[in-house]
Amino acid sequence: MQHQQIIWLSGAGSGIGRGLAVALLRKGHRLALTGRREAPLEELRQEVEPGEEERVLVLPADVSIPSTLEIAYTRLKDTWGVPDMVIANAGTHQHTELDRLTFSESRAIIDVNLLGAIRMLTLPLQGMADRGSGTLVGVASLAGYRGLPAAAAYGASKAGLINFLESLRFDAEPRGIRVQIVNPGFVKTPLTDQNPFEMPMLISVEQAVAALMNGLEKGRDEIHFPTRFSRIMKLLRILPYPLYKRLIRKITQGGAR
């Protein structure tokens, strides 16, 4: 990453997004912060050094509501121009076993995790292409590699985002646009605190942010962490499906509870 880039980050109010925002601000970047609630974003803006508040632009928006995201981007572009980097980090999750699985809940998850990310990433796309430079970052998940119990909609949303970004890379790179995919494992956040099962190889937000920053700075196509867990998931991804299904059923005893 170049020094003092203009970076637009969603999901900045809590969890990985908040930790990442703090790390990026410490590096001297200008940050446009988006989240559904304005108060946490303003709190972040107050954390910068006195006189440095102009490096933070608060742009509240709901990524599942296109008009609010378009208003946020218009304000960003009018204030600072086309950003150097966009990080689509906003996400949601609901542990959903069969008796609770509904279309409306599934649509809500997909609208944030997949469609919301696509909305955000495509808004500056033409501007970056015209300029011949830029970086698009999508935060997906290791859960997007293959199907997992009680995660039908969540897994589908993350698998869709991975495929979207991998496909976009073929068209974006020749125009000077880098595409990076972030695939975290379990990170202790208010969102994962709702999971009713023991999460393997759970890491802290601080550990996740350190891995993410390292991957961003090195320009890696895929940033995956924690390393041991992601390697296991990569191995599971290439197993023949009948073997994979039997193994996952054994590990989860028919579904994580």
**Residues with active-site annotation:** 154
Q: Please state whether beta strands 134-139 and 85-88 pair in parallel, antiparallel, or not at all (unpaired).
A: parallel
Cα separations in angstroms, 153 against 36, 89, 181, 202: 21, 17, 19, 22
In contact, 1 and 80? CB cutoff 8 Å = no
How many other C-beta atoms lie within 10 A of the C-beta of residue 201? 13
Could you tell me the sign of the dihedral formed by the alpha carbons of 221, 227, 231, 233, in that order? negative
Could you tell me the sign of the dihedral formed by the alpha carbons of 123, 126, 129, 130, in that order? negative
Nearest C-alpha neighbor of 69 from the set 128, 112, 103: 112
Cα separations in angstroms, 226 against 34, 86, 137: 26, 23, 18
What's the CA gap between 3 and 62, in Å, rounded? Answer: 29
Q: What are the residues facing 178 on neighbouring strands?
A: 135
One-letter amino acid at 126 equals Q
